[in-house]
Amino acid sequence: MKKHLLGLLFPLLLLTTAFEGPFQGDADLVIAALKSGNPAEISKHFAVVVDIKFLDAPEDKIVASEKAAQKLAAFYNDYKIKGFERTAQREIGNTMYLTGKIIGTSKKYNITLMLMKKNTSQYHIVTLRVN
């Protein structure tokens, strides 16, 4: 009985991991941009408008991607951010939640991103919070 159960579960496990591939590629692009420590690379993945918040600064809702890119670049320069470590990633439908730590010269900061995609397009960052 155990052999039959394992025989059924193993193909199921292979099928579930096989379907991660197409979606994982989009996430890898965003994660690579975060790991680069280059705000210009990260901002390429912004949606048309972004909800953005840095540390104790007031939250900026519905900011155009160009202004959000400027704020991100200023934050990265001020805190000398050099990289990213992913702690969690979860996909639900067309939404992905990504959490991790961005690495400064003397401190790490928590970062949370919400990414969305429409139909078959790539993921775009719609919310970015650093605390």
Provide the 3-class DSSP secondary structure of residue 122: coil
pLDDT mean over 120-129: 91
CA–CA distances in Å: residue 121 to residues 43, 49, 124: 17, 16, 9
Residue showing tokens 């048309």: 48
Going 41 to 43 to 46 to 52, the CA torsion angle's sign is positive
Helical H segments across 2-128, by residue range: 2-18, 21-36, 39-43, 65-79
pLDDT mean over 38-57: 95
* pLDDT at 16 > cutoff 90: no
pLDDT class of 6 with cuts at 50, 70, 90: very low
